[in-house]
Amino acid sequence: MKPETKSRLHKFQPGNHTWSEVTKEAYKDGEGHWCGIDRNTIIGGRGEAANFHLRYFEIAPGGNSSLEKHVHEHTVICVRGRGRAVVFDKVYDLENLDVLYIAPDAPHQLINPYNEPFGFFCIVDKERDRPRKLEKEDIERLDATSETKGKYIGYVEGD
């Protein structure tokens, strides 16, 4: 195979926490309860052969991602501010360079209860299933321990 010239550098721009040649996207077009999130795909969708995508998400103060689950895994690396992750039956506090692995089908939500933006890389498989809403048994598990009860946002029964 001939070597090719498509290597590239995305220069980090500390002033606004963006990367050169990366365009900010909407977090999701679809439904679900979420707010205050930007999404940036850094690696993926440009002809790469790699089996993964690297995205950067930023949650504004008071914002949160969808409460959801899916078979594909998340690898989350905190790189701006700090935040919280509700995963299965635990709550994790995330600070700079902490790495969180979210296992297959674990219900999860990322939350920013702080006063500064919470930014993180999220690495996922290129081929992946769509997120699903939680089922009643997922909510019962979240509500069964004091660690996660009342810590998630936006579940509406029958929604």
Mind telling me the catalytic residues? 122
Tokens 């500064």 -> residue: 116
- Of the pair 35, 103, the CB lying nearest a second copy is at 103
- Of the pair 20, 35, the CB lying nearest a second copy is at 20
At its nearest, how many Å lie between a second copy and the CB of residue 55? 11
The length of the chain in residues reads 159
At its nearest, how many Å lie between a second copy and the CB of residue 153? 19
Residues found near a second copy in the complex (CB under 8 A) = 1-12, 14, 19, 42-43, 48-52, 54, 69, 71-73, 75, 77, 79, 87-90, 92, 94-108, 121, 123-127, 138, 141
Do the Cβ atoms of 73 and 45 come closer than 8 Å?
no
Cα–Cα distance for residue pair 66/159, rounded to 1 Å: 13
At its nearest, how many Å lie between a second copy and the CB of residue 138? 7
If you write DSSP's letter for every residue of 110-145 in order, what string do you get? Answer: EE--SSS-EEEEEEEESS-PPPBPPPHHHHHHHHHS
Cα–Cα distance for residue pair 144/81, rounded to 1 Å: 30
- Of the pair 21, 35, the CB lying nearest a second copy is at 21
